[in-house]
């Protein structure tokens, strides 16, 4: 996630770091170079004058803008839903820890640390990274051994937490109502995990990306021939402006389609995981908290 103060209106025009321009710069330069060549050769291709007007580009441009808007909205819906699910992870993690305190569960720290371990395991599962270091740091050795070779360690942690709640209920440390409240919080964590999996492992239909990509590039490559007779030497400038708009929206939509990745505009779930861990442990009076992750070059991971 890009985190930086909003500059004033003039500096905003020249912001480089934190924008999408580095990702689209090569294709933007190619389209601009082609536009310059079209102007130089007066729209001729192999001694044949390409006669295009602005009319077809106006019609296609409207349809393309609508299609780009749909693609961007679909990607942002996934991004925002993912952020709400991580908010649910925070709420239910705090709720479970608070219930441990109010119900007077004996030695609640291992359970709270396991909740933090569940959140970190969720992050690693979504980003397909190795969770061993975080699991060893937070979980009991017996539970770490139980996670070896598992495809979804987060679910094993959740099952262990449910077993611990049931065991304390059996021993009479908590009554049935308290056990149900704790289990309800675990159910909320399970729902959030399932929602994140649904987003992470169900991409938007590939056909949408193919159709949009082809249409955007063909439109921008043919645009100089349609503008040449109308605006002359200003054609490369206008083509670069239109291409920047279309390329940037397409690239941003593609980037946030998977909001759990490591792209600059994806969700900072590493920072969120550390924040949840710190919040849970602090409720129990712990002072050895994970560090606050700071943005690097305005990008928070």
Give tens-digit pLDDT for 249-276: 999 898 899 999 988 889 999 999 999 9
Residue 85 is assigned to a structural domain of this protein: yes
- Residue 260's pLDDT is 94
Residue 37 is assigned to a structural domain of this protein: yes
Residues with Cβ within 8 Å of residue 197, at least 6 apart in sequence: 125, 126
Query: What is the C-alpha to C-alpha distance for residues 216 and 208, in angstroms, rounded to an integer?
Result: 12
Query: What is the C-alpha to C-alpha distance for residues 282 and 279, in angstroms, rounded to an integer?
Result: 5
Residue 18 is assigned to a structural domain of this protein: no
* pLDDT less than 50: residues of the chain: none
* Burial (CB count <10 Å: 0-12, 13-18, 19+), residue 241: exposed
- Residue 106's pLDDT is 85
Residue 295 is assigned to a structural domain of this protein: no
- pTM recorded for the entire structure: 0.90
Per-residue pLDDT tens digits for 196-222: 999 999 988 888 889 888 999 999 998
What is the domain count for the chain?
1
Residue 86 is assigned to a structural domain of this protein: yes
Neighbours of 213 (CB within 10 A): 13
Residue 66 is assigned to a structural domain of this protein: yes
- Residue 43's pLDDT is 67
Residue 20 is assigned to a structural domain of this protein: no
- Calculate the alpha carbon distances from 290 to 88, 95, 124, 162, 258 in Å: 20, 20, 17, 25, 26
Residue 14 is assigned to a structural domain of this protein: no
* Burial (CB count <10 Å: 0-12, 13-18, 19+), residue 73: exposed
One DSSP character per residue, the chain reads -B--PPPPHHHHTT--TTSSHHHHHHHHHHHHHHHHHHHHTTTEETTEE----HHHHHHHHHHHHHHHHHHHHHHHHHHHHHHHHHHHHHHHHHHHHHHHHHTT-SS-HHHHHHHHHHHHHHHHHHHT---HHHHHHHS-HHHHHHHTT-S-HHHHHHHHHHHHHHHHHHTTSS-HHHHHHHHHHHHHHHHHHHHHHHHHT-PPPHHHHHHHHHHHHHHHHHHHHHHHHHHGGGHHHHHHHHHHHHHHHHHHHHHHSSTTSSSTTS--HHHHHHHHHHHHHHHTT----PPPPPPBTTB--
Domain that holds residue 186: 31-42+52-283
């Amino acid at each position: 996630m890009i985190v930086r103060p909003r500059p004033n209106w003039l500096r905003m025009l020249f912001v480089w770091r934190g924008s999408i321009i580095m990702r689209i710069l090569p294709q933007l330069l190619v389209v601009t170079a082609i536009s310059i060549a079209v102007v130089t050769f007066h729209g001729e291709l192999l001694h044949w004058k390409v006669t295009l007007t602005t009319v077809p580009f106006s019609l296609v441009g409207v349809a393309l803008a609508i299609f780009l808007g749909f693609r961007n909205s679909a990607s942002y819906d996934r991004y925002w839903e993912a952020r709400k699910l991580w908010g649910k992870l925070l709420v239910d993690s705090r709720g479970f820890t608070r219930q441990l305190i109010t119900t007077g569960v004996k030695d609640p720290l291992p359970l709270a640390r396991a909740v933090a371990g569940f959140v970190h395991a969720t992050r690693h599962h979504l980003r397909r990274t190795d969770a061993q270091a975080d699991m060893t740091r937070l979980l009991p050795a017996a539970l770490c051994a139980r996670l070896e070779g598992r495809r979804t360690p987060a679910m094993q942690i959740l099952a262990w937490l449910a077993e611990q709640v049931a065991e304390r209920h059996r021993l009479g440390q908590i009554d049935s109502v308290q056990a149900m409240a704790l289990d309800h919080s675990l159910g909320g964590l399970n729902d959030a995990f399932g929602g994140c999996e649904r987003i992470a492992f169900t991409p938007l239909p590939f056909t949408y990306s193919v159709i949009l990509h082809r249409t955007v590039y063909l439109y921008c490559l043919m645009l100089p021939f349609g503008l040449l007779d109308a605006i002359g030497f200003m054609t490369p400038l206008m083509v670069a402006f239109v291409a920047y708009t279309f390329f940037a929206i397409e690239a941003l939509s593609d980037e946030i389609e998977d909001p759990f990745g490591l792209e600059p505009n994806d969700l900072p779930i590493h920072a969120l995981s550390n924040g949840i861990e710190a919040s849970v442990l602090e409720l129990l009076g712990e002072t050895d908290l994970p560090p606050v992750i700071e943005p690097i070059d305005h990008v928070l991971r």
